[in-house]
A and B are shown apart, each in its own frame.
Chain A
Amino acid sequence: MKIHSITLKNFLCYYSNNKIIFKDGLNLVLGSNGYGKSKLYDAFQWVFKDGITDDLIHGDERNPGNIKKTENLKRTLISDKALAETKNTEIVSCEVIIEVSYSEHIHYQLKRKYSVQRISNVEWKEPVTSTFELFKKDVTSYITISDEYEKDRILETLIPTGVRPYVWFQGERGVNNIIDISSAKSLRTVIKQLSDIEIWEDYIDIAKKLASDVKKEYELAIKTSKSYNDNVEKLLEDKNYLESQLTQKEQLLTETEDRLTKLTKKRELLIANLSTAQKIEKERLKKDNKISHLIEVNRKIDFFYSTFPQNLFKKYWLLMNTDNLLNKYAEKYNNYQKLVIDRQVSILASEKINSLPQGVPEPVHVNNMLEDEHCYVCDRPARKGTPEYAAIEKKIDTSRNDKENKKDIEKQLRLFLNSGYILSDKFKNTEEDITNIIEEKDSLVERRKDLEADIAAIENEIQNEINNSGIDQATDIINSFEEAEDDIRKCSQNLGKLQGEIERIKGSLQSNSFNISRLTKGEIKPDLEEKKKLTEDLVDSTIRIKESQYSELIKLLEKKSNEHYERINKPTGAFYGKIRFTETSNDGYRPEIIDDTQKKVSNLNTSQTSSLKLAIIMAIITANQSIDNAARYPLISDAPISDFDALKSKSFLVEVANTFSQSIIIVKDYLKEEANSSNRYSLDIERLQELQELLKTNSKLLNIVHLNIPEGLVVTNRETLSIDIKQIGAI
């Protein structure tokens, strides 16, 4: 099929009549965001599928096609501007006409139309169906094809339903719907859809049914044989039991395989966010670590403030710089001592002349003198109540009190001086101590500032990552990923266990069959034995052949994928590796990128993943050698290169042009915002010329269509919106 043109009348944002002419080669439709690119893709879908891509259910597993039908879209299919201009009772329609040819002489026109009538300002009469008309060109005019069956047949001939998803797709989501690389069975499904491999599965089915009929005949023959006895009956019972066990285990195996596929898919989905989640988690751990440090620093600062006043006393810091006082006191104490000695000397001198020296006589003698009422110093009586007695009495008090008082004062003064000396030792390093501890505190305050700044920076980093990725439950993602990994490991182990059990049951069945035939030897007719052997061998053979056919197709697909993959990636100069389809334990194949050492490359970026998928999709088309799909069906893709840089976009477009005889690629690339007018874009002529030159080297043509909006309009005001289509052609 070749697409010649598409006409959009009041369809979505395409107000009034808009016609785009397509040519052989690469048709590049360029438009910025909101300029009708996806709506153009929707127009193709609407004509062929009576529905458009439903963004709301994007990614819903229940509806992988994501198609919303006319019955659910109704007047939203019609341009808001056209609806706004429609008066009460008036009818307004949208329609899309696609002109195609199947061969040089067979041309068709496909037209889908939907009309509504305005009842009031807010009410509309909206039918649930659109009308589809198909016309065949007859020399100069178009003849209507009214037979519904014929219409379906022609549509299927133009582009088979099974092929359409591989040649018509939208960006990443479309690619994901076509080929889900996380599902090991995806490639088998692809092979099944695009090859005649199903016929081999039919052969297996027929052979199994035939073998089952023969088996029934064989068992009946055993039961009616003369040798049939308890032993044979027991063996037959065992056989039935083993067969039911086998069916059960095989069912379990299928369920486990499905579970493994789902888990693998879940893991793949999580992997996409894992590195970001790990980064966020790492930052959080870093933040927690910093917070722990901050708490410790704060504790030390608090300790400083709480212990400083205590240390003024405990560590005698208050006495700092009081050395001069001690010196003064020591000087005074020395003077005092000197004074005391001098005074004692003078007292002694005077007492020697005039009286008894201090402390003489001893108290015991004084007491004796008082008892005897006699002074033995001057040897004369001293009667109680006489002045002499009183003089002796006085001697007792004076000697005792004077001595004690003097000693006490002296002691206190001496102690005070000694304490001063002891203390002076303790506070001699106080200044240094205080300087050190204050420096330490200042350094802690600085550290606190740094830590607070670090924590704020980490928090900022975390928030940026969350905003950019939309991941706010990083821990959940990491935990879910680990759980999925664990479940996959367990599931794979179960799978291996089940496969082992199935093999054992098959072995038991074989020996059971051998025992039955041994016990009934000679009883079963040779032709029945032969029939049984033939049909069982046929089953085995068809199974083996189907597998080898799959394997060959997979190898071919791998080869073709690599050819496309290399051509898309090589010009970029970046590492791209090689695609390998690895057989999985659950009987599927998973595409992987391997490096030169044959090791799987993990954590592919979106650009690598997209080019991997696009290369496989191209290979699905080009590997099918029985039909030249690439030449027969045009590729229509909306935003397939959104993940690519300029170099890769260019090599992808060249590859598309070289692979498909006609392709319509709708992108926002190759445009430049006009300097003097925001929201208006002009073509990036330099890059387009470069692309055109590259295509020319392979004799491929470039046809450019530019989607813009009329000056003065804004894409957000849908009631005035229309699209300005410029048919640029070649540069």
Chain B
Amino acid sequence: MPAIDRLKILLSDSELKKNYQISDEKIQSITMTPSSDELENEEMMIILVRELVKKQSEDIPNKTAASKLYTILDSRLPKYLERKK
């Protein structure tokens, strides 16, 4: 199954959709490599899930993938929260 399909499946989780206001349109149009503008406006959870799918495909140990995700989360979260305000 291609990574993009798995990304869509993960984002289709009802709890996630409800808690992070992820619309069906967004799921339909989502890509693995969004433009910087798209990235700027995306929900943090979407970014996180995309990175999870992407990092796992890189054939690296899960621990390393988790560390990379942590770094990404750490670096993007302040901007995201700022934007949310």
Q: Which residues of A contact B (CB under 8 A)?
A: 196, 199-200, 202-203, 205-207, 209-210, 213-214, 526-527, 530-531, 534-535, 537-538, 540-542, 544-545, 549, 626
Sample of 19 A–B contacts (CB below 8 Å) = A196-B1, A199-B1, A200-B6, A202-B62, A203-B52, A206-B55, A206-B56, A209-B63, A210-B69, A530-B77, A531-B74, A531-B77, A534-B48, A534-B73, A537-B16, A541-B49, A542-B10, A542-B52, A549-B9
Q: Which residues of B contact A (CB under 8 A)?
A: 1, 6, 9-10, 13, 15-16, 19-20, 44-45, 48-49, 52-53, 55-56, 62-63, 65-67, 69-70, 73-74, 77-78, 81
With both beta carbons as reference points, the residue of chain A lying nearest to B45 in the complex is identified as A534
With both beta carbons as reference points, the residue of chain A lying nearest to B9 in the complex is identified as A545
Q: Is the CB of A541 within 8 A of B13?
A: yes
Q: Is the CB of B81 within 8 A of A538?
A: no
Q: Complex formed: what's the CA distance from A541 to B49 in Å? A: 10
A625 to chain B, nearest CB (A): 10
Q: Is the CB of B19 within 8 A of A209?
A: no
With both beta carbons as reference points, the residue of chain A lying nearest to B16 in the complex is identified as A541
Q: Is the CB of B1 within 8 A of A209?
A: no
Given that A531-B73, A541-B10 are contacting pairs, would A206 and B66 also be in contact in the complex, using a CB cutoff of 8 Å? yes
Given that A205-B62, A206-B56 are contacting pairs, would A538 and B77 also be in contact in the complex, using a CB cutoff of 8 Å? no
Find the residue from A203, A210, A542, A545 having the highest chain B CB count within 10 A. Answer: A210
With both beta carbons as reference points, the residue of chain A lying nearest to B43 in the complex is identified as A534
With both beta carbons as reference points, the residue of chain A lying nearest to B81 in the complex is identified as A527
Given that A534-B45, A549-B9, A626-B1 are contacting pairs, would A206 and B62 also be in contact in the complex, using a CB cutoff of 8 Å? yes
Question: Which residues of chain B have C-beta atoms less than 8 A from A530's C-beta?
Answer: 44, 77, 81
Given that A203-B56, A209-B62, A545-B9 are contacting pairs, would A538 and B45 also be in contact in the complex, using a CB cutoff of 8 Å? yes
Further contacts, 10 of them, CB under 8 A, given A207-B66, A541-B49: A202-B56, A203-B52, A206-B69, A209-B66, A531-B77, A535-B48, A537-B15, A537-B16, A537-B19, A538-B49
Q: Complex formed: what's the CA distance from A380 to B58 in Å? A: 170
Question: Which residues of chain A have C-beta atoms less than 8 A from B10's C-beta?
Answer: 203, 541-542, 545
Q: Is the CB of B52 within 8 A of A537?
A: no
User: Which residue in A206, A527, A541 is a CB contact (below 8 Å) of B77?
Assistant: A527
Question: Which residues of chain A have C-beta atoms less than 8 A from B55's C-beta?
Answer: 206
With both beta carbons as reference points, the residue of chain A lying nearest to B77 in the complex is identified as A527
A162 to chain B, nearest CB (A): 16
User: Which residue in A199, A537, A541, A544 is a CB contact (below 8 Å) of B6?
Assistant: A199
Q: Is the CB of B78 within 8 A of A527?
A: yes
Question: Which residues of chain A have C-beta atoms less than 8 A from B6's C-beta?
Answer: 199-200
Q: Complex formed: what's the CA distance from A202 to B59 in Å? A: 11
A213 to chain B, nearest CB (A): 5
Q: Complex formed: what's the CA distance from A535 to B72 in Å? A: 12
Q: Complex formed: what's the CA distance from A203 to B56 in Å? A: 7
User: Which residue in A213, A527, A626 is a CB contact (below 8 Å) of B67?
Assistant: A213
With both beta carbons as reference points, the residue of chain B lying nearest to A204 in the complex is identified as B62
Q: Is the CB of B52 within 8 A of A207?
A: yes
User: Which residue in B45, B70, B74, B81 is a CB contact (below 8 Å) of A526?
Assistant: B81
Q: Is the CB of B56 within 8 A of A199?
A: yes
Question: Which residues of chain B have C-beta atoms less than 8 A from A542's C-beta?
Answer: 10, 52
With both beta carbons as reference points, the residue of chain B lying nearest to A544 in the complex is identified as B13
With both beta carbons as reference points, the residue of chain A lying nearest to B73 in the complex is identified as A531
Q: Complex formed: what's the CA distance from A380 to B6 in Å? A: 164
Q: Complex formed: what's the CA distance from A535 to B56 in Å? A: 16
Question: Which residues of chain B have C-beta atoms less than 8 A from A541's C-beta?
Answer: 10, 13, 15-16, 49
Q: Is the CB of B48 within 8 A of A544?
A: no
A20 to chain B, nearest CB (A): 39
Q: Complex formed: what's the CA distance from A196 to B57 in Å? A: 12
Q: Complex formed: what's the CA distance from A200 to B56 in Å? A: 10
Q: Complex formed: what's the CA distance from A549 to B6 in Å? A: 10
The 10 lowest CB-CB distance pairs between A and B, nearest first, are: A209-B66, A210-B66, A541-B13, A205-B62, A541-B16, A206-B65, A206-B62, A206-B66, A210-B69, A213-B70
A319 to chain B, nearest CB (A): 105
Q: Is the CB of A210 within 8 A of B19?
A: no
